[in-house]
Structure 1
Amino acid sequence: MKPNAAKYLWISAVFFLVAAALVAVYFQNGFGAFDRAGFDLAEKVRSDALTSMLAVLTALGGTKPVVALSALLVLWLYKRGYRREAVIVTMILLGAACMNEWMKNLFARERPVGQNLIARPDSFSFPSAHAMVSSVYYAMLASLLPLLVPRHWTKYIALLLYLLIVVIMASRVYLGVHYPSDVATGACFAAGWYFLFRCAWSKWGEAGKASHYPTFASARN
């Protein structure tokens, strides 16, 4: 195994272990104080303007937008010849989504009541799919930017994508449709899946050195 692949695999394992520890806490004692503190903080910073903005941005982490954007990314990679990357992205997203759905149904935690500023989704709450699945997609997209845009834009767009991840996760608590512990646990699982993606990309990806190229076209020539 390549050194980078091994490093990413270890990091992934650490995040999965932290996530598993959070699940154990949920089973044993719950997150009462942590969840209350998160909702208290959300109430302190609440405003009409912020609520309107987060109600729009949180939709970018929804199932339909993420599925559509993921399909576009996979098709683009496949058509451009990066077929291994297309397969890796697909497998990681499917893995994260299936794990999230399985865990939601296993734990069957009801969503918060009385905190919501938008309609409460019908699905269960723990862990947050916005934190666990959409975060993986946007983080992978940030890593793949050297294949998509000129090099001098990658760091700025990547920063915006990472900021979007944070905002989407925070919005779920702010809007009252997830407990803070749902988001924290989902985020740890997301990090585990993301570094598993980095491991697979480093080991099997055809564009492992893509970050050294300013544009996709120059990487292929």
Structure 2
Amino acid sequence: MHLTTSSPTITPRDRHLLRHAALAVCCAGLFAVVAALVQTGWGLLAGFDHKLIDDLHRYATDHTVWTASVQMFSDIGGTITMRSVLGATALWLWLIGARTLAGWVAAQTLVGWGGQWVLKLSFGRSRPAFSDPVSHAGGPALPSGHAMASAITCAVLVGLLWPRARRAGRITACSIAGLTVLAIGSSRVFLGVHWPSDVLAGWLAAGIVLGAVTVIVELARPGALARDFRRVDWRTRPRVQRVLVSSGRPPRATDPATDPIGDPVADPATDPIADRPDGLLR
């Protein structure tokens, strides 16, 4: 007699939860390590922070035009700009009916803002000080608010584009987002208002927020995020078609049952995802 045992099936939703839980846990562990090294004044990290910030400050004072350009870029990519972008995105999602997705974006914004200040006030790290500073910033240093806000914003925007983007689009979106986050974080170090470890801590704190908020929303509303991603697709495809037609660029597909990129148009009344309990794409 042969006994067969059925192994538990890991659904796409389970994998989604595990990925984001792993992101939050790993970033939390690394953040704790960085914070502990900063608090204990570990020699190698402290030496790296001071040497890099001093070298960059000398370069910044000698190249005022470049420094002014970096300051402008840092101001444009500041926390107010990033949170305004997320706020506008959340409002748009709410208006088209993707309420859970709108709440997810809003939660990333609010938790990121609140978490940043909780961490800053908890550690109370002083910013770099110079006799001839090229820029000024207030409040504690760790973690960098610019680094944290830009990482959350870019990750959220890439996440919204990801389901409908093809391979080339995903690579382009990730590249632009990565370069933007790196440039904004580096600008704060170049301007002498943050230590390099502050920026690293900001990126890690962003990972904690992104992973934790996603897990909480998925547990509270199973499958709702995936359904809202499809709802965004249903609402935006007809508008894209109208824009293409009005601009004299007809869709490539001649069959009215297909969209401009040749895929079947999703119908909320008939889409198989509506019948799936987990609401996830397969």
Instruction: Give the TM-score taking structure 2 as reference length.
Output: 0.66
**Bigger Rg, which one:** 2
- Letter paired with 1:216: T
Give the deviation of 1:157 after TM superposition: 3.9
Q: For the residues of structure 1 that align with 2:186 and 2:66, how far apart are their CA atoms?
A: 12
1:1-221 to 2 correspondences below 5 Å: 2-30=14-42, 31-40=45-54, 42-43=56-57, 46=60, 47-114=63-130, 116-118=133-135, 120-146=136-162, 153=169, 155-197=171-213, 199=215, 200=217, 204-207=224-227, 216-217=236-237, 221=267
Give the alignment's Cα RMSD to 1 decimal.
Answer: 3.0
* Secondary structure at 1:52 match in 2: helix
Deviation string, structure 1 residues 85-134 (Cα, Å, up to 9, x no partner): 1111111221121111012122222221117422x122221111111223
Gaps of 5+ in 1: none
Q: For the residues of structure 1 that align with 2:97 and 2:235, how far apart are their CA atoms?
A: 15
Q: For the residues of structure 1 that align with 2:73 and 2:266, how far apart are their CA atoms?
A: 35
| Overall identity of the aligned pairs, in % | 22
Are 2:87 and 2:109, in contact at CA under 8 Å, matched by a contact in 1? Answer: no
Matched positions, count: 217
Deviation string, structure 1 residues 47-96 (Cα, Å, up to 9, x no partner): 44532332122123323212321210111111122211111111122112
Q: For the residues of structure 2 that align with 1:50 and 1:198, how far apart are their CA atoms?
A: 39
* Secondary structure at 1:205 match in 2: helix
Q: For the residues of structure 1 that align with 2:58 and 2:193, how far apart are their CA atoms?
A: 17
Instruction: Give the TM-score taking structure 1 as reference length.
Output: 0.83
Gaps of 5+ in 2: 1-12, 238-258, 260-264, 268-282
Give the deviation of 1:145 after TM superposition: 2.3
Q: For the residues of structure 1 that align with 2:194 and 2:157, how far apart are their CA atoms?
A: 25
Counterpart in the other structure of 2:9: none
